[in-house]
Amino acid sequence: MLDTRELGRRPGVQREVSLSVPAPADLGIEVLRVREGAPVEIDLRLEAVLEGVLVTGSAEAELSGECARCLEPISDAIEVRFQELFLYDDQALSEEDDEVSMLEDDLLDLEPLLRDAVVLALPFRPLCRDDCPGLCPECGARLADDPDHAHEAAIDPRWASLATLQQDPQQED
Ligand SMILES: [Zn+2]
Ligand SMILES: [Zn+2]
């Protein structure tokens, strides 16, 4: 929680803040995320406006995850930018709106904003490299390590059972 009371609710007053916070749990997606507790470096500009505080900022963190094709570990970094208007919670709102970010007693909860920005910036299918060839469908070997990898043509199990049927004498009638 960030305290915005220093701005005194005076429109036009600004403050720059830099902070390093430990990453909350589940910051990212299943296959690519900021490890819980890893530092997230945040730079913010807080600006008082008439109805609340405008937050503009960026965040940087290390990512870890795994390749969607070959499951190799991936290390990467992410930098996201965000901007959001947080309304004072004693503003008379005509109707409740869940989409609006609110200050609570002039304290600002940055976590939902950070979480949305990080998730939006991540690829759905992270890869160790753009042309990752993935795994061998037969033995699971990592094809990037062994590009000439090949197998003897194996008998498809469905054909194998047909072959057994054909040898069954009862099928000959
Ligand atoms: Zn890969
Ligand atoms: Zn193989």
Kindly report the three-state secondary structure assignment for every residue of the chain.
CEECHHHCCCCCCEEEEEEEEECCCCEEECCEEECCCCEEEEEEEEEEECCEEEEEEEEEEEEEEECCCCCCEEEEEEEEEEEEEEECCCCCCCCCCCCCEECECCEECCHHHHHHHHHHHCCCCCCCCCCCCCECCCCCCECCCCCCCCCCCCCCHHHHHHHHHHHCHHHHC
**Average pLDDT value for the chain:** 88
In this prediction, residue 126 carries a pLDDT of 94
Higher pLDDT, 172 or 103: 103
CA of 152 to the centre of ligand 2 (A): 10
Q: Which ligand lies nearest the alpha carbon of 145?
A: 1
Q: Which ligand lies nearest the alpha carbon of 132?
A: 1
Q: Which ligand lies nearest the alpha carbon of 127?
A: 1
Ion ligand 2, residues whose Cβ is below 5 A away: 136, 138-139, 141
CA of 156 to the centre of ligand 2 (A): 15
| pTM (two decimals) | 0.76
Lowest mean pLDDT across 11-15, 41-45, 164-168: 164-168
Lowest mean pLDDT across 114-118, 142-146, 160-164: 160-164
